[in-house]
Structure 1
């Protein structure tokens, strides 16, 4: 060792420039390594910050950090995979796909996380059927992305009116993440839609325990408590909301209903009058004020409000209070006419529930119940939901004549002439191809 050191010292004495060059080279190498290390550390810091923001569902802020991470480390696949998720959540689906393509190219193939993300992207694009089986298999295999899969799958199932299945996904998600705020809110919403109001209250309360600052959840909870007749706890929520939203009509309406339910009739009447002064065509307020008048033994005043409410209400709202008011006034014939309307709406609601179960459990590929459900929803004034079920009927049976007829008639009624004409052309083609 000493001999080598001696040779180097001797060489350095003979060639001082060699020493300077070696030192400069070593210094440059150290600087380059330090620079690369700094870039790597900064990129990792931005990536970790983006991960935390994605967990908090702050997608835009996450993308800001991921942009920096990609600038500092453009060839790191994890950056692109997480960016794809954030872009998908923001419904920037083309950008999400580009990130997945880049990630796959950098990794030299499609890994399982990329496959999952592509399947979730298909769900966002409306292709639940094409991705559901794969995603459910991933959940059964306890995929690391199971929470994200369950979250997206539950939302898609809810959109497709498969509330019972959405609830099962949400229950699985909440077993894994009991304080998942959005899952708790959706679990409450699906329970409400299925008429399980006590369950809805429980889940909304859990959601508020996680994030007590979310007024929309507090409002939903208070409104259900009014339906259940729990006026005191509902009033406390409405009063808390009123401190932050003093002019919110929904809050004032809730307070008025609580006052009426608790027997504070004058307070309720004052609030109803205040709301109608601002919006004379609010059918819900007219209904409540009219029924309050009936309860105060002023059925003639109530009749005026209840008739107007019925003329303004959506077609799926039964005029039950108006029937009772007319009976009190001795107007039996008119009461009978409106009772027929109540019975028709209630029959439609019952049949719609039956059809939902039939579609989910017994005849999922039969277009007929989907068509019938679409017709009911159209009668109830729920055009968007009706079109959804008509379209799913055609997805099951593209030549289903009655569905094309219904869509042609609907689109013509809303002056969507080109769409109406499309369905007429399909009907003409079906007639031409039919055997004589």
Structure 2
């Protein structure tokens, strides 16, 4: 046998390396994509939506025509409330061959999250007969809760969350939402109780740790809040909010120098407008406590400029101005703070009335007007649109939307709503019942439907009857 020459041996070795590279690189890339998709699905199941999006970036880059990648992106954006992006990715998922029934479910859940909660009824009725996987049941619970909250039907949202917890007692997400609802109502004891339940199951859950710290701080318990904020700074991918809370605790505990140093360091970084306002507010209070009135006024004025709707900021600025002998400016800020309090009180009374009459479009327009006057136009528009969901020809809602779209230079939308308002004005105005058509009988209206465990009962069940309308 002829001996292989050194040159031929080297050539074969190079060829083998090239072959291995050509086969190993695609295999490695495929394994990396599969790992990213698996991790993204896990994070979706945990409700970690922002992290799920970051893990889907690489698969999208490598496989831009992957039906699965676009479906997962559509699911994630839908749960984040970014419905336009969700619909674009879901359309691509369908185009590239993803299962049509799963895409259709996501589209229905978008409608439910937007407040069209009745859109879930056919799905719930069908699922009452046929078993539904647990992950689908969770998505329906989540969308229903968000839809009821979008309509400010708090009692209905609580019914869904309560039933979800009865089914999955260790679930984090429904308890987190219940805590947030209690926070809206300034019921810090109940909010703290929910956070404790979450932390007993998942001790390092960052939203629960941050929420618990905030609830304790709201109860003026900075000593108890301090370790929760410290733990958040260790665990959170972005510890800024926890560090601001830590600084608030330090100030209340009389450790002003530490608080000031921490806030000054944060201001050198990247903060949201809300966080900047909080940081300057805290620095203003520190300066006010040290009788450094010029610095206090400077920081508090900056805070008010960044967040003009915050009453506490104006109150503090008025106090600093008064102490500096600037009584006229102080009086102006006190008047503005009082107007904001009256607006908040009006909104609170409207929300209480809506809890009693959730299907009254006039009350929803009243809430929209109050929010528009208070400087929250996007929230106001949502309330006007909710009024139109109840009564598509509600004249006042169309007129309000027409004015809004004219003000932001969107003449086509303004003209469309103006035309609807004119047509509604030409029709006789009938008084609207608090309940929609089909709910006018003597018996109580139906309660929301919800999901249950696949193993022991049909996964979508009607909830226990509750007193009062949905």
TM range (shorter): 0.5 to 0.7
CA deviations on 1:114-154 (whole Å, 9 max, x unpaired) are: 9x999767525752134469859989xx9997766544422
Shift of 1:163: 2.6
1:427–1:252 distance in 2 versus 1, CA, 3 Å? same
Match of 2:117 among 128, 134, 151: 128
Shift of 1:288: 1.4
Between Structure 1 and Structure 2, how many residues are aligned?
354
The aligned counterpart of 1:293 is 287
User: In the alignment, is the contact (CA less than 8 A) between 1:256 and 1:272 conserved in 2?
Assistant: yes
1:396-411 equivalence runs, <5 A: 396-411=390-405
Match of 2:361 among 367, 380, 390: 367
The aligned counterpart of 1:198 is 189
The aligned counterpart of 1:393 is 387
The aligned counterpart of 2:68 is none
The aligned counterpart of 1:253 is 244
- Secondary structure of the residue that 2:381 maps to in structure 1? helix
Note if 1:336 corresponds to 2:331. Answer: yes
Shift of 1:236: 1.4
User: In the alignment, is the contact (CA less than 8 A) between 2:232 and 2:242 conserved in 1?
Assistant: yes
Shift of 1:101: 6.8
Q: Which has the higher helix share?
A: 1
Q: Which range moves more in the overlay, 195-204 or 160-169?
A: 160-169
1:32-431 equivalence runs, <5 A: 91=78, 123-124=112-113, 126-131=115-120, 135=124, 149-244=140-235, 248-278=239-269, 282-318=276-312, 319-362=314-357, 364-430=358-424
User: In the alignment, is the contact (CA less than 8 A) between 1:314 and 1:381 conserved in 2?
Assistant: no
Structure 2: give runs of 5+ residues left out of the alignment: 1-37, 53-70, 79-88, 430-470
Q: Distance in 2 between matches of 1:156 and 1:404?
A: 22
User: In the alignment, is the contact (CA less than 8 A) between 1:88 and 1:121 conserved in 2?
Assistant: no
1:121–1:414 distance in 2 versus 1, CA, 3 Å? closer
CA root-mean-square deviation: 4.2
CA deviations on 1:183-224 (whole Å, 9 max, x unpaired) are: 121111111122111211221232233233432332232233
Q: Distance in 1 between matches of 2:371 and 2:109?
A: 29
Q: Distance in 2 between matches of 1:102 and 1:396?
A: 28
- Secondary structure of the residue that 2:186 maps to in structure 1? coil
1:321–1:56 distance in 2 versus 1, CA, 3 Å? closer
Q: Distance in 1 between matches of 2:228 and 2:319?
A: 31
1:326–1:56 distance in 2 versus 1, CA, 3 Å? closer
User: In the alignment, is the contact (CA less than 8 A) between 2:226 and 2:249 conserved in 1?
Assistant: yes
1:133–1:320 distance in 2 versus 1, CA, 3 Å? farther
1:224–1:409 distance in 2 versus 1, CA, 3 Å? same
Q: Which structure is richer in relative contact order (CA contacts within 8 A, separation 6 or more)?
A: 2
User: In the alignment, is the contact (CA less than 8 A) between 1:405 and 1:423 conserved in 2?
Assistant: yes
Shift of 1:234: 2.2
CA deviations on 1:80-137 (whole Å, 9 max, x unpaired) are: xxxx9998677476669x988769xxxxxxxxxx9x9997675257521344698599
Structure 1: give runs of 5+ residues left out of the alignment: 1-48, 61-83, 104-113
Shift of 1:379: 2.6
User: In the alignment, is the contact (CA less than 8 A) between 1:201 and 1:225 conserved in 2?
Assistant: yes
User: In the alignment, is the contact (CA less than 8 A) between 2:311 and 2:341 conserved in 1?
Assistant: no
- Secondary structure of the residue that 1:412 maps to in structure 2? helix
Q: Which range moves more in the overlay, 178-187 or 213-222?
A: 213-222
User: In the alignment, is the contact (CA less than 8 A) between 2:151 and 2:386 conserved in 1?
Assistant: no
